[in-house]
Structures are given as C-alpha cells and as structure tokens.
Amino acid sequence: MQLFDAPRSLADGVSHFLIEGRGRDDQLLVIARASHWALIRAYLERRGIPVDSPATRLTILDARKVRMRITRRGLLDPTRMEDTLGGMIAEFASNRGGLRVYGEIVELFAEEGNFEQACLLEDYWNHLQKKHTFTLLCGYSAAHFADPRNSHHLREVCDRHGSIKSHSADSLGTWLTTR
C-alpha cells in the first residue's frame, strides 16, 4: 500500500512499480481512474516504456467502471466481485510470467469516507492473493486519513497490507506512516 499526497507522486510511484514488473516480464494490470492513468501513462512514456506496444503486456481498466461492476446499490456484491475481479485475476494469473496489479478502487471508497467498503475490498484482494500469485499495489490519498477521527481507519487499512510506504516527498503520507 502506498499513501500519496498528490496525483503526481502517485503517477511517479505507480510508474516505478510497473517498470519493476516489466523488468521481470510480468503482465501489468492497472485499475485507475482516467485522470490518474493519464498521469501514470505520461510518466511511463517519459521513462521510455512503450505503453501501446503489446510487448509491454499492459491492460488498463477504469476504476470507476470496475467499481460499478462489482457493487450493487453502492455496496460490494460478493458474486459480482468474484465474476469481475476474481475472473480477471484468474485469467491474467494463468498466463505465462508473473502478474503485477495497481488498483485504486479502494481509493474511491476511501474518498467517500466509506472505509468499511474499502476494507472489505482489501479483504477480497487478500483472498485472491491466496488463490493466485500476483503483486498488488493499492494507492490511497493520504488526505483521507489526515483527520484524527480517521486514524483507526488508517490502522484497519494498513493491517490488511504486507507493507505500507510513502515517498519522502509526500510529507503527509510520510508523517502518517511513521506516527
């Protein structure tokens, strides 16, 4: 999990995550909102990654559209999650090589203050990682956890991840991860 202060630091961090996966010949899956993908794409292209080349093995999905497919009346639906995310991860994981996923559907829930749904989705990602081998990076805006009343939500989210980081340039994210 990575806490970001700004979209540019998100794009920088995610592009490094994807470049590392590409170096391992992993298949890459990005589930991001369109505005974030535009920034991530620009960072990748500046670093010489041919985003549109089939050799890059990159699939892009709009986080808002995926969220609509896995929810019913704004709440996560287990059957829809399994059909959509579960099926997608199973298909990608069965291809040759590894799989690297960046996802920010959880960020959409956190943005609304719906940390319960964010944690349920994090639990589902962990369930998928028990069934399939893949590396996952979840991105959250640090601002969602700046209010002291949300500190317990940050702990709940962090408890569902193997590592928590923030770039040193992200002062709020760094402060939240070290306190």
Structure tokens at 71: 């929810």
What is the domain count for the chain?
1
What distance in Å separates the CA atoms of residue 122 and residue 170, rounded to the nearest whole number? 23
Tell which wins on pLDDT, 163 or 20: 20
Question: Are 3 and 173 contacting, i.e. CB atoms less than 8 angstroms apart?
Answer: yes
Confidence of residue 168 (pLDDT cuts 50, 70, 90): confident
For residue 26, give its domain range: 2-178
Identify the CATH number of the domain in which residue 97 sits.
3.40.50
* DSSP per-residue string spanning 12-62: HHHHHHHHHHHHTT-EEEEEE-HHHHHHHHHHHHHTT--TT-GGG-EEEEE
Rounded Cα distance, 127 and 158, in Å? 16
- pLDDT in the model for residue 77: 97
User: For the chain, what is the mean pLDDT?
Assistant: 92
> What percent of the chain shows pLDDT beyond 70?
100
- What band does 104 get if pLDDT is binned at 50, 70 and 90? very high
Share of residues in the chain with pLDDT > 90 (%): 73
Burial of 23 (0-12, 13-18, 19+ CB in 10 A): exposed
- Is the pTM above the cut of 0.85? yes
Residue 25 vs residues 32, 38, 117, 135: alpha-carbon distances, Å? 21, 23, 33, 13
pLDDT, tens digit (0-9, with 9 covering 90-100), for 75-88: 999 999 999 999 99
Report the pLDDT value the prediction gives residue 93, as an integer from 0 to 100.
87
Q: Using CA atoms in the order 132, 156, 63, 53, what is the torsion angle rounded to 10 degrees?
A: -50
Contact 102, 11 (CB under 8 A): no
Q: What is the mean pLDDT of residues 130-143?
A: 93
pLDDT at 64: 97
